[in-house]
Amino acid sequence: MKSIQLTLLASALFIAACVPERDFRPHVQGGDAERGRVALKELECGACHVIPGVGGAHSNVGPPLENYSRHSYIAGKWPNEPERLIAWILDPPAMAPLTAMPKVAMSERDARDIAAYLYELD
């Protein structure tokens, strides 16, 4: 009796582990997620956004960035992929002239690292 139960349970768990992962997982070339987290804190992006893992980031001016790697689109207009996200972070008004998100001065490296961190948010 017990052995049957155990076998069934074990097979169930084994099968559950075989669910395929998401087909597309965005990945930033040359981006450092930890540096990105620090950049988010120093640039105080939390003044507008809820960002998991960044202290003090709990504002609702911009959309929350939870689960960011799963988002289909950036700003509702652009497919969410690495190079586009970096371009967006560097200069939002250039891509969406009506947006409330300003162009905040930062290096391309900072933007790349920030994108890398955001793509860790599953």
Partner 1 sequence: MGPRGIPHRHKALFIGIGAVALMLIGAIAAGVILLSGAYSTSATKQHFWITYRILELGLEYSVNAAADELPIPRVDDAQALPIGHACYREHCVQCHGAPGIARDDLGRGQLPSASSLSQSARDWPAQNLFFVTKKGIRMSGMPAWEFRISDEGIWSTVTFMKRMAFMTREDYAKFDGANANARCPRPTKAEPYTDELAKITLRQYACDNCHRMEGIVGPKTFVGPSLENWPQRKYIAGVLPNTRENLVRWIRDPHAISPDTLMPNLEVTPEHAEHMARFLLDDR
Partner 2 sequence: MRQSALHPAANSGAALIDQLGSVLYVGAALIFVLVMTLAIVGVVAKGRDVAVKHWVIGGGLIFPSVTLTALLLYSLAVGNGLSSIGTTNALQLFLDCFGGRESLPISMDQPLKIHVVGKQWWWEVRYEQPNGGEHVVLANEIRIPVDRPVELVLSTTDVIHSFWVPSLAGKVDMIPGRTTRLRVQTSEVGKFRGICAEYCGGQHALMAFVVVTQSPTAFASWLQLQSQPTSAPSDATMRVGYDAFFSAKCHTCHTIRGTPANGTDGPDLTHVGGRAMLAAGILDNHIGTMAGWIAGPQDIKPGNKMPDDAALTGVELRALSAWLGSLE
Residue 67 contacts which entry, partner 2, partner 1, none (Cβ below 5-8 A, type-dependent):
partner 1
Residue 45 engages partner 2 in binding (rule: CB under 8 A): yes
Instruction: State the Cα–Cα distance between residues 34 and 117, nearest whole angstrom.
Output: 7
Q: Which of 51, 112, 121, 117 is nearest to 87 (CA)?
A: 112
For the bound state, the minimum distance from the C-beta of residue 10 to partner 1, rounded and expressed in Å, comes to 10
Q: What is the DSSP letter of 50?
A: B
Residues from 55 through 94 that contact partner 2 (CB under 8 A): 58-61, 93
Determine phi and psi for 50, rounding to 5 degrees: -80, 120
For the bound state, the minimum distance from the C-beta of residue 20 to partner 2, rounded and expressed in Å, comes to 39
Site of interaction with partner 2 (CB under 8 A):
43-45, 47-48, 58-61, 93, 97-105
